[in-house]
Amino acid sequence: IVFDAKAEKITLSVAAEDSYGICGTMNEWSSDEVMTKTGDVYSITLDLAENAEFKVRLNAGWDTCYGAAAVDAASPAAANFDLSGDNIKCVTAGSYTISFNVTTSKITLA
C-alpha cells in the first residue's frame, strides 16, 4: 500500500501469483502452454509428437526452468521419454498429462 499525500490517493499493489507453463518444440520455444494450479501442483494435458522436446518454466522466463533432471523416475509414462538430455524429449507420440509439484520441484509424466 502506497499513500501519495500530494495526490491524495492510495495505491494498492498486489503481487502477481507465479505461473508455470510448458515451452518447447510444440510452440517453437516462444510461448508457454499455461498449466492449471491445484494446490501445490501445476498440470496440463498435451498431445505431444514423437521427438517433441520441452521444459517446465516459471513465469514464462528462462531464469527458472525444469528439464529432464526434474522428472520423477516413477512417473507412469517415464519410459516414453528420453531423459538423458537437458530437455524432456518425447519418444512415443501421444496425449500426456505433465504435472509439476512446486514443493518437491518434481515433474510427473502420465
Residue 94 pairs with which residues in a beta bridge? 48
CA angle 105, 96, 83 (to 5 degrees): 55
> Residue 105 and residue 4: Cα distance in Å, rounded?
41
Q: pTM here?
A: 0.85
pLDDT tens for 2-55 read 556 666 677 666 557 899 999 999 999 999 999 999 999 999 999 999 999 999
In the chain, what is the straight-line distance between the N-terminal and C-terminal CA atoms, in Å?
Answer: 43
> Residue 70 and residue 28: Cα distance in Å, rounded?
22
Residue 101 pairs with which residues in a beta bridge? 41, 106
CB-CB contact of 71 with 56 (8 Å): no
pLDDT tens for 38-51 read 999 999 999 999 99
Nearest to 99 by CA among 39, 59, 50, 12: 39
